[in-house]
Structure 1
Amino acid sequence: MSTVLVSNIMMINERDRFDALLREKGVTPIWPEVNQFMDADQCLSYAGEVDGWLAGDDKITRDVLKAFLPRLKVISKWGTGIDSIDLEAAKELGVPICNSPGAFRDAVSEYAIGLLLAATRRLARTDRTIRAGGWPKGRFPGMAGRTMGVIGYGAIGQGVGQRARGLGMEVIAHDPYMQTAPDGIEMVSFETLLERADVITLCCNQTPENFHLLNAETLGRARDGVILCNVARGGLIDEAALIAALESGKVGAAALDVFETEPLPQDHPLMGFENVALSSHNANSTIEAIEYVHANTLDNLFRHLDG
């Protein structure tokens, strides 16, 4: 009988369901206590105990991978992002890494637009004010006629571009791995995107090279009043620089689903801005997308365990 470590939050949140399903398949699950993800030390505490791993955003380093061998047969990552795994080490050590690429194209891209409108049109604030007895008549910026710059033009980035065009926006994109876009939009350099974009949406993976991609220096080169939307990874934005840019007005609004520290601390300065929409790293949260990824993650696991 195989033993599998289940450390992704999405399955942990439905533990009874997936515990029963795994046991029906002849698999014994191990359920760690997880706060968002496991750091390397917590990962190492399970070394040598499992044949498979249903992982979340756990810090799976080279040392972690070595410690799990030779028993570990597969890491089946819940979701699309695999930037928390040392992929080079996994390849060298022969550990298959599986995920669900493209699964959240529609879910995340439509959420990005909704979060963007919440930040610019103050939708949540208006709702709260009405519930408190008010009847506000604010005047806020629209999106039609503006330029949307998308950083990272994979499946989610293309979904954002499609929806932005539906709002009457011009769309440009930057992606170092793509010379031309499947949908024909203009691909530009990072510098050109900073110069031209009224709205910047981050849809890329986080790598050592693009950590704090938007920082004091790069934000300084962006357009005055630029609007930011991040549905990718929190580390892409230097939050201290973002706070300073919001205070100065350099950044006109921000729509944020991800942060450098999650959950966001209750005393975080971003809580104090009315032109910032905050979300809980939950842009993928449609029933359809989540059920697809549940099934695909398990299929990836069983395929390698059975093989």
Structure 2
Amino acid sequence: MARILITTDYLVPGDDIDKLLHRHGHETIFAPFTAARESSQQDALLSGFDGAIIASEPVTAKMLAAAPTLKILARSGVGYDSIDIPAAAALGTRVCNAPGTNHHSVAEMVIGLIIMSARRLAEVTTGVQQGRWPREAGHELQGSTLGIIGYGPSGRATASLGIALGMRVLVSTAHPDSNNNGVQFTDLDTVVRDADYLSLHTRGGQGIGRLMDESRLRAMKPTAVLINTARGSLVDEGALATALSDGTIAGAALDVLESEPLPGDSPLRGLDNVLITSHLAGQTIEARRRAGLAAAQAVIDVLENREPAHPVDL
């Protein structure tokens, strides 16, 4: 019997993922990641386990070195920036993610954030709750330009929804698709300059750094809105706060941040032209189940000496 650690906070004892692992003869131990752990607890988190299904908490070389029996780390999501992949590879610990499980959820969230920004819904609903009756004039999406940076599953799904809404869709990607169905592929600078709504769908890390820094924010239209559901590391939050305050851009909608939860001293606090959500874009009930099952299957495959479907350690 293998011991499997599960830290993803929405996975719980008795759910489909737990039942699947038990059917394959494994013991599950739940330690949900809801906030930063004490350093000693974090360092020993993986010790004594054969496999782990993890959320987005950091997995360091020190943690991996303390877990000599660990054979597989499975992310119940797409991103794996928080895992020390070289350290895992050096120890022979497989690392997998769960791509293609939440891209529809992410795309729907992007469009929802765009509509909220375009129609100023946060200001309107807050005003009504406060006893006022605001009659804000927003913007139609039809005929506006949706800029997308990155064209993986969530970028593609977002592009399809944008086209369905009558938007002109510009995409910057290293992998253009010949079957674009109305998407226009162009360079990054053009997408940033021409977008009315600029949505990020590219990975962080790997030398990308702050994709949206002061210079790129200043290259956007003053009427444009930045949407980030990808990685908090892609946006210079200090520069963004300045750009929002001085009217360089009209607004922003952020589902991911450099530090989560949003720190009390963040320069983004108190700004009325930024929408901030709590890393929810991929967190529908349907997507969570798909991602959890994919992670559990990766654990099962590795422990039963099969090649997992989505390794990221090669």
Asked if Structure 1 and Structure 2 have the same fold, meaning a TM-score greater than 0.5 normalized by the shorter chain, the answer is yes
| Cα distance in 1, alignment partners of residues 191 and 155 from structure 2 | 14
| Cα distance in 1, alignment partners of residues 67 and 118 from structure 2 | 47
String of CA shifts for 1:165-207, please: whole Å, max 9, x gaps.
122211111123x144542522222222222222210111111
Q: 1:290 to 1:5 in 2, by over 3 A?
A: same
Deviation at 1:92, TM superposition (A): 4.4
Deviation at 1:33, TM superposition (A): 5.8
String of CA shifts for 1:103-157, please: whole Å, max 9, x gaps.
1111110111101211231213322322333322111233222221111110000
Match for residue 183 of structure 1 among 159, 180, 185: 180
Q: Percent identity?
A: 31
More helix by share: 1
Aligned length in residues: 303
What residue number does 1:8 align with?
8
What residue number does 1:52 align with?
51
Amino acid at match of 1:68: A
Q: 1:100 to 1:62 in 2, by over 3 A?
A: same
| Cα distance in 1, alignment partners of residues 150 and 39 from structure 2 | 28
What residue number does 2:156 align with?
158
- Structure 2's unaligned 5+ residue stretches are 306-314
Tell me which moved more, 204-213 or 102-111.
Answer: 204-213
Q: 2:6–2:32: 8 Å Cα contact kept in structure 1?
A: no
| Cα distance in 2, alignment partners of residues 61 and 83 from structure 1 | 11
Q: 1:154 to 1:266 in 2, by over 3 A?
A: same
1:104-123 → structure 2 map (5 Å cutoff): 104-123=102-121
Q: 1:157–1:203: 8 Å Cα contact kept in structure 2?
A: yes
DSSP-derived class of the 1:102 partner = coil
Match for residue 255 of structure 1 among 253, 256, 276: 253
Amino acid at match of 2:295: T
Deviation at 1:84, TM superposition (A): 1.7
1:243 counterpart = 2:246: no
1:21-100 → structure 2 map (5 Å cutoff): 21=19, 22=21, 25-32=24-31, 34-36=33-35, 42-69=41-68, 71-100=69-98
Q: What TM-score do the two structures reach when normalised by structure 1?
A: 0.88
Deviation at 1:28, TM superposition (A): 2.8
Q: 1:271 to 1:6 in 2, by over 3 A?
A: same
DSSP-derived class of the 1:251 partner = coil
Q: 1:199–1:227: 8 Å Cα contact kept in structure 2?
A: yes
| Cα distance in 1, alignment partners of residues 178 and 232 from structure 2 | 25
Q: 1:41 to 1:121 in 2, by over 3 A?
A: farther
Q: 1:38–1:59: 8 Å Cα contact kept in structure 2?
A: no
Q: What TM-score do the two structures reach when normalised by structure 2?
A: 0.87
| Cα distance in 2, alignment partners of residues 99 and 20 from structure 1 | 18
Aligned-residue Cα RMSD (Å) equals 2.5
Q: 1:278 to 1:256 in 2, by over 3 A?
A: same
Q: 1:201–1:230: 8 Å Cα contact kept in structure 2?
A: yes
Q: 1:289 to 1:46 in 2, by over 3 A?
A: closer
- Structure 1's unaligned 5+ residue stretches are none
Match for residue 266 of structure 2 among 261, 265, 268: 268
